[in-house]
Structure 1
Amino acid sequence: MAVVGGSIAGSAFAAAAARLGAERVVVLERSPGRLEDRGVGICTHDDRFDELVRTGHLAADTRRHRLTVRRWVTRGPAGAGDGPDGRGRVLWDQPFPFHSHHWAGLWQSLRERTPEQVEYRLGSTVTAVGGDDGGAWAEEADGGRHPYDLVIGADGYRSVVRAAVCPQAAPEYAGYVCWRGSYDDALLAELPGGAAVWPEEECVTVCYRGGQVVIYRIPGLDPGRTQVNWVFYAPTPGWLRLDGPTSIPAGTLTDSGLDELRQLAERHLPPYWAGLVTLTPRERTFLQPVYDLATPRRTAGRLLIGGDAATVVRPHNTSGAVKAVQDAHAFEQAGRTAGSWSALLAAYDRERSSAGRELVELGRTLGRAQVTAAPDWSAMDGPAMTAWWQHQLTGGGGFGGHALGRTGPPS
């Protein structure tokens, strides 16, 4: 088998294929080097993480940072009411049973559990795939075309494999962006009050008209270190050109782009959180347009897609990494019970296509409620926030991801 893409989804699918008994599994990763620096912070719901440990996909000692509460805050009128520490007016303290991870740490945990027979080929760019019910092939940039029993597309939201499985499916722009950043939390000492005014188990969501900022700590790359991680949802910058799915990588933002971010933070956030965002070094700041994608199917012939190649879910769901590993789990479970390739692919498609579409729809609902059609935050309090949140989950939920094996809305 071949797996196109070697990040979180690709590593999970490669391990699943090897556990199913595949004699040869090749991971074709276009990046020429190691992947530790990809991405920043991600979260997993406690229950979903425990399921993935029980089913063998993650190690119990995977490095993570415990979160227990999500504090929703907003800026007081004209900056008044931001409190003596400048953290803003509290709207709601929401129970938040999650752990945070550095992307690289979670990827490394998956990578270390990949059986030895899996071959990783770095610097292998797949330019085309194809096949039928009898087999599949992948063509690389050097022109070589190689046959496989199955080609799995775990190659992200610009997937080459998806273009062959569902040529009509493409990510749709949600109408806003997220600026992102991370850095060692030792830098918080530069803020008034330092790190002490922000409890380590607290995820903070700062709400403003037109967007929000989600801020939490994650494990650093070095044991014993902790990083600040933030995601700043905001209107589309006037200079951003969306000719196709894209992002502005870390370290490449212009001085004017960074100045726009600083102005956004100072205009809309309480002083402490504005200072936290603007402390971020250029090389740790990047911008991602927000997209949606739900493919009508996940298989064609001997081609299969998973992770962001199959569904792109807005980050509001806090389910992206879980979704990717659950895709691999569903593939493995189908392989254990199916008597043929066609039965395996049909079972995987049936379970994960419906789950993916439901997560995408929840992401859209959360995006409308929290960004594009958010309430008047100045009028919200604890009871109003509780009712507002429950309304978002009506009809299926899935915040943090669904339990393994669930294929429809909860009863």
Structure 2
Amino acid sequence: MRGGSVAVVGGSIAGSAFAGAAARLGAERVVVLERSPARLEDRGLGICTHDDRFAELVDAGHLAPDTRRHRLTVRRWVTRGPAGEGDGGNGRGRLLWAQPFPFHSHHWAVLWQALRERAPAAVEYRMGSTVTAVGGDRDGAWTERADGTRTPYDLVIGADGYRSVVRAAVCPQAGPEYAGYVCWRGSYDSALLDGLPGGAAAWPEDECATVCYPGGQVVLYRIPGLAPGSTLVNWVFYAPTPDWLRLDGPTAVAAGALTGEQLSGMREFAERQLPPYWAGVIALTPPERTLLQPVYDLAVPHRTAGRLLIGGDAATIVRPHNTSGAVKALQDAHAFEQAGLRLGGDSWEPLLAAYDRERTAAGLELVDLGRTLGRAQVTAAPDWSAMDGPAMDAWWRRQLTTGAGFGGHTLGRTG
């Protein structure tokens, strides 16, 4: 076994998964350095996993079979039409296509907590630990704090997201590229739906709704709440870049930081573009539960340098259209662990080389698919008013002509 010490920079889903993998590979000490000073319950909102990908992760031991989740079975694509056309009078819009959708939805924090609970005893979490720089060579690595203090490790893993400090050391030439549009996001207690015409019953609980308009779409589905038995509404609104947004570098506007004027502009835009029911769903979102995330792409040419490694969003940022973000992060950690088990020995170098080969190629495929989906669904979308079920089915199939799977690759796939 390899032994030694491992630092994981970033304690979210990717970081927790890599920390567990490093401990199971025999590291004597695994330290997770998370800059947030408190628990990460409110970070992120809803995410989805394909039924098959979830089952694979359970079988591989990364997730417990009883991890709380919400079952989805159908994705209904709709668009705005003349008042009452095709919507049964409930304002949901004209149905374009009912697509089978074998996915589970998750609350980010619930999934993260499930990973934390499965962490081996060797993993130590240090909250409020900000890493300002990392470095190293073939013989070791180090992390540096703001006061200049350096701590040596045998391996440093970067799972520190789209503004990764570790990526800056591994691939200084690589960085997120703006895709040209944003996603507004929000969530709230699903009981609030009762205040809409038709109430919650107008929107079946197993349905993921995709509401299309010229230049964008909104994806809406329910997720588990933090309290067992509770349910939240979760939505992602792909929209043009607001005039007020300044993109001087990778950025986001956190929940609670948007002004009243900015929120009003988004809601007015929704009222102009969306069927009434869905504009109403968005309008119910409290300001403190609404945020803005510009959409980025990132694919690095390599994921390791010396004793440094990157994974999750630090290595690959895939547009949310893929519905593969959490799966991608967990599969990165799985590939890292499987390479170590397969190669054995007491050296980190062969493991890092094998991980680099497998996950760099897989990440590039996922990013390419995300760009394809983004063009087809947002920046070069069809005339939705002219689409019907057969046309939608053919349009969807044209987007999935590459080997990169919607919802993520099959676990263990290489090349």
Q: TM-score under structure 2 normalisation?
A: 0.97
Tell me how far 1:397 sits from its aligned partner.
3.6
* Secondary structure of 1:126's aligned partner: coil
2: CA distance, partners of 1:226 / 1:192: 20
- Partner of residue 52, structure 2: 47
- Partner of residue 357, structure 1: 364
- Partner of residue 118, structure 1: 123
Tell me how far 1:142 sits from its aligned partner.
3.0
- Partner of residue 33, structure 1: 38
2: CA distance, partners of 1:342 / 1:17: 14
1: CA distance, partners of 2:77 / 2:273: 14
Change (3 A) 1:385 1:181: same
- Partner of residue 377, structure 1: 384
8 Å contact kept, 2:83–2:91: no
Deviations 1:63-109 (A, max 9, x none): 00000000000000477554411100000000000000000000001
8 Å contact kept, 2:86–2:95: no
* Secondary structure of 2:178's aligned partner: strand
Q: How does 1:242-257 map to 2 (within 5 A)?
A: 242-257=247-262
Q: How does 1:203-218 map to 2 (within 5 A)?
A: 203-218=208-223
After alignment, is 92-101 or 258-267 more displaced?
258-267
1: CA distance, partners of 2:227 / 2:413: 36
Deviations 1:159-197 (A, max 9, x none): 000000000000000000000000000100110111011
Tell me how far 1:337 sits from its aligned partner.
2.3
8 Å contact kept, 1:176–1:233: yes
Residue identity opposite 1:356 in structure 2: G
Which of 8, 15, 33 does residue 10 from structure 1 map onto?
15
Q: How does 1:123-202 map to 2 (within 5 A)?
A: 123-202=128-207
1: CA distance, partners of 2:367 / 2:129: 30
2: CA distance, partners of 1:262 / 1:198: 20
2: CA distance, partners of 1:80 / 1:67: 26
8 Å contact kept, 1:294–1:312: yes
Deviations 1:33-82 (A, max 9, x none): 01111110000000000000001100111000000000000000477554
8 Å contact kept, 2:31–2:125: yes
Which of 310, 317, 332 does residue 315 from structure 2 map onto?
310
Residue identity opposite 2:148 in structure 1: G
* Secondary structure of 1:27's aligned partner: strand
2: CA distance, partners of 1:202 / 1:82: 15
1: CA distance, partners of 2:339 / 2:153: 19
1: CA distance, partners of 2:288 / 2:396: 35
- Partner of residue 273, structure 2: 268
Q: Is 2:407 aligned against 1:403? A: no
Residue identity opposite 1:118 in structure 2: V
Q: TM-score under structure 1 normalisation?
A: 0.98
2: CA distance, partners of 1:50 / 1:337: 22
8 Å contact kept, 1:124–1:141: no
| Equivalent residues, number | 408
2: CA distance, partners of 1:250 / 1:327: 28
2: CA distance, partners of 1:351 / 1:201: 35
Alignment RMSD, CA only?
A: 0.9
2: CA distance, partners of 1:81 / 1:333: 51
- Partner of residue 112, structure 2: 107
2: CA distance, partners of 1:58 / 1:188: 31
Tell me how far 1:308 sits from its aligned partner.
0.1
Tell me how far 1:230 sits from its aligned partner.
0.2
- Counting aligned pairs with the same residue, the percent is 82
* Secondary structure of 1:97's aligned partner: strand
- Partner of residue 332, structure 1: 337
* Secondary structure of 2:292's aligned partner: strand
2: CA distance, partners of 1:180 / 1:337: 41
Residue identity opposite 2:60 in structure 1: T
Deviations 1:352-392 (A, max 9, x none): 00000000000000000000000000000000000000000
2: CA distance, partners of 1:337 / 1:141: 38
1: CA distance, partners of 2:265 / 2:406: 31
8 Å contact kept, 2:182–2:239: yes
Deviations 1:256-288 (A, max 9, x none): 111111111101111110000010000000000
5+ long unaligned stretches in structure 1: none
Residue identity opposite 2:284 in structure 1: L
- Partner of residue 241, structure 1: 246
Tell me how far 1:22 sits from its aligned partner.
0.6
8 Å contact kept, 1:76–1:82: no
5+ long unaligned stretches in structure 2: 1-5
2: CA distance, partners of 1:407 / 1:318: 20
2: CA distance, partners of 1:242 / 1:357: 24
- Partner of residue 3, structure 2: none
2: CA distance, partners of 1:385 / 1:397: 20
Deviations 1:316-354 (A, max 9, x none): 000000000000000001111223322111000000000
